[in-house]
Amino acid sequence: MPNLIPVEIIEQRIFLIRGEKVMVDRDLAELYGVETKVLNQAVRRNKDRFPDNFMFQLTKVERDKVVTNCDHLSGLRFSYQMPYVFTEQGVAMLSSVLKSKRAIQVNIQIMNTFVALRRMLADNKALSLRLDELERKYDAQFKVVFDALRKLISPPDPPKRPIGFGVTEPKAPYIVIKRKS
């Protein structure tokens, strides 16, 4: 089965909110090829399938944080309705609510991405535990090596925003008129 959506696109749309890996309703609707309104309407019609640990609504602060970090969600900034987010279980449940073939195929891809992310996190934890074990076993002469390895496996710090005010409007074209002397 060919991938409809590159895995990188799905990975970029998974956020960590309230300690849960979630996807925003707008992103899911786009991936499934439906309007956000249609997706949320299908969820409301099947509310008993989506308990709080499957789906929850963002607060204003959470929404603003997500919008700040993701340019493609900038349209949510002025939305009067707070978006819903779906956990891995909620995304799995969406396939039973949205019954199109595309929804099923996209759902399989999203589930595979969640599993791959979980596996990657588990591998990093296992590697970190192994490094701790080796560090205890060997003396201080290898401390520099262990510190370098820890730095390599730790997630990178988020980029810092520059301080100051930036003007993003285009420059006005100035016409130079030469006077006759």
pTM: 0.58
| Spatial distance between the Cα atoms of 122 and 128, rounded to a whole number of angstroms | 10
pLDDT of residue 181: 62
- Burial of 150 by CB count in 10 Å (0-12 exposed, 13-18 middle, 19+ buried)? middle
Spell out the domain ranges in the chain: 7-121
pLDDT (tens digit per residue) in 22-79? 888 888 888 888 888 888 888 888 888 888 888 888 888 888 888 887 777 777 777 7
Helices (H), ranges, 13-59? 25-32, 36-45
The pLDDT value recorded for residue 27 is: 86
Which of 39-43, 89-93, 138-142 bottoms out in mean pLDDT, i.e. has the lowest? 138-142
Residue 1 has pLDDT above 50, yes or no: no
Average pLDDT rounded to a whole number, residues 124-132:
68
Rounded distance between C-alpha atoms, residue 70 and residue 58, angstroms: 15
